[in-house]
Amino acid sequence: MNAFARMPAVIAGFLVMSGAVADERPDVIPFPDSRPRFVPQERMQAIYDEVRTPYKVGVILEGREGELLDSPAVFRHGDRWYMVYVSFKDDIGYEAELAVSDDLVAWERLGIILPFSKEGWDAWQTNPSLALYDTRWEDSSHALGTHEGKYWLSYIGGAGQGYEPDPLAIGLATTDDPIAVRPWDRLPENPVLHRDQPDNRDFEYRTLYKSFIFRDEDETLGAPFVMYYNGKAAMYGQEAIGMAVSHDMRHWTRYGNGPVISNVGQAPWAISGDPQIVKMGDVWVMFYFGAFWNPGAFDTFAASYDLVHWTKWDGPHLIEPSEPFDETFAHKPWVIKHDGVVYHYYCAVGDRGRVIALATSKDLGAAAAE
């Protein structure tokens, strides 16, 4: 069965009408054949010591009745903090929402920024991720950069109802005001990456998931915009993280003939996903979640000098189930450092449902009492 025949009729018809299936695609950029330089163990240990967050603050955002919350991503705009995250309501699908905070701990929900379109390839799924976020670890502004005078986010979209029904694809949206509670504008080129493009790789054969897009001023990979995302393969539903690059944010070229992060060697059904990238000195660090190659779901990291060859941390997890509110899963990281404190936001699944939780590098209660 060819790729087009695998698609549900509603998606296949939409892609034909939009020209997405027929469009010619650029060749996949091959991985460089230079000798890889891996990050030494002592540097990996130093990164772990820097980013570990042993103090669980607890649940900071919780859904209403019939609602699950997921996938937090935090940025700063003006003098306040904002979070984009996903709401899953009444078993229908994902919508992207916005929340605000003055202290990174207490959050207020503001409203929807990517609602159900109810038609087309992304009719019932819009799971957001920030794009062009300031990736500096030290002295980060935590602000969103712009391109073409607009702020950008990527999202995974889908036409089916339910919890992440295959296939999902990656789209982009823009706005001139990232804190306005109104729908962002979806690109006419969407979806920019999907499973039925001819350059699709085996690890993304069934569906494409969460992406992280950042600007690399040095153009390490030959382009200013770099995207990491996880895809789902065919056999066991295993997930791995691969990459793509772009010169204009609208047209993306896949990079490498396979994933850059995979843990399927540890279990055939292993999941590695939801990457976030930061820069620590001369080392890039990728926070991501793992599942099922160790018990449950948890957050970990990898590090790289060149954005292609990644050294995976094999020590203690950054976040793992330990409390009633995250006893099932503790995963999907967004990690920042502000005023000497590391904040690790994540999706927790436990006795309060699927919620957004926070852990920190310092005991905030003890610090407030000093």
Dmax (CA) for the chain in angstroms is 66
In the predicted structure, residue 19 carries a pLDDT above the cut 60: no
Mean pLDDT confidence for 82-91: 96
Residue with the bigger pLDDT between 168 and 5: it is 168
Number of domains in the chain: 1
**Average pLDDT of the residues of the chain:** 92
pLDDT reported for residue 23: 60
Chain position carrying tokens 């819009």 = 126
Closest CA to 177 of 185, 169, 186: 185
In the predicted structure, residue 17 carries a pLDDT above the cut 80: no
pLDDT, tens digit (0-9, with 9 covering 90-100), for 57-80: 999 999 999 999 999 999 999 999
- What are the angstrom distances between the C-alpha of 340 and each of 48, 59, 188? 15, 22, 42
Residue 354's domain spans which residues? 3-369
Sign of CA dihedral 45, 230, 69, 102: positive
Contact yes or no for 122/186 (Cβ under 8 A): yes
Kindly give the pairing relationship between strand 239-246 and strand 225-232. Answer: antiparallel
Contact yes or no for 98/154 (Cβ under 8 A): no
pLDDT band, residue 367 (cuts 50/70/90):
low
pLDDT reported for residue 366: 61
pLDDT reported for residue 24: 85
pLDDT, tens digit (0-9, with 9 covering 90-100), for 125-167: 999 999 999 999 999 999 999 999 999 999 999 999 999 999 9
| CATH label of the domain that carries residue 208 | 2.115.10.20
What tokens does 323 get? 């409390």
Name, in order, each residue with C-beta under 8 angstroms of 338's C-beta and a sequence gap of 6 or more.
Answer: 104, 142
Mean pLDDT confidence for 254-267: 95
Residue with the bigger pLDDT between 188 and 20: it is 188
Name, in order, each residue with C-beta under 8 angstroms of 210's C-beta and a sequence gap of 6 or more.
Answer: 71, 127, 129, 156, 229, 230, 273, 274, 275, 332
Contact yes or no for 26/253 (Cβ under 8 A): yes
In the predicted structure, residue 6 carries a pLDDT above the cut 60: no
Q: How many CB atoms lie within 10 A of CB 368?
A: 7
pLDDT, tens digit (0-9, with 9 covering 90-100), for 297-343: 999 999 999 999 999 999 999 999 999 999 999 999 999 999 999 99
| Model pTM score | 0.93
Name, in order, each residue with C-beta under 8 angstroms of 370's C-beta and a sequence gap of 6 or more.
Answer: none
Phi, psi of 333 (to 5 degrees): -85, 150
In the predicted structure, residue 105 carries a pLDDT above the cut 60: yes
Closest CA to 53 of 370, 345, 367: 345
Provide the CA 265 distance to its chain's centre, in angstroms.
23
Q: How far apart are CA 224 and CA 169, in angstroms?
A: 22
- Which DSSP letter does residue 324 get? G
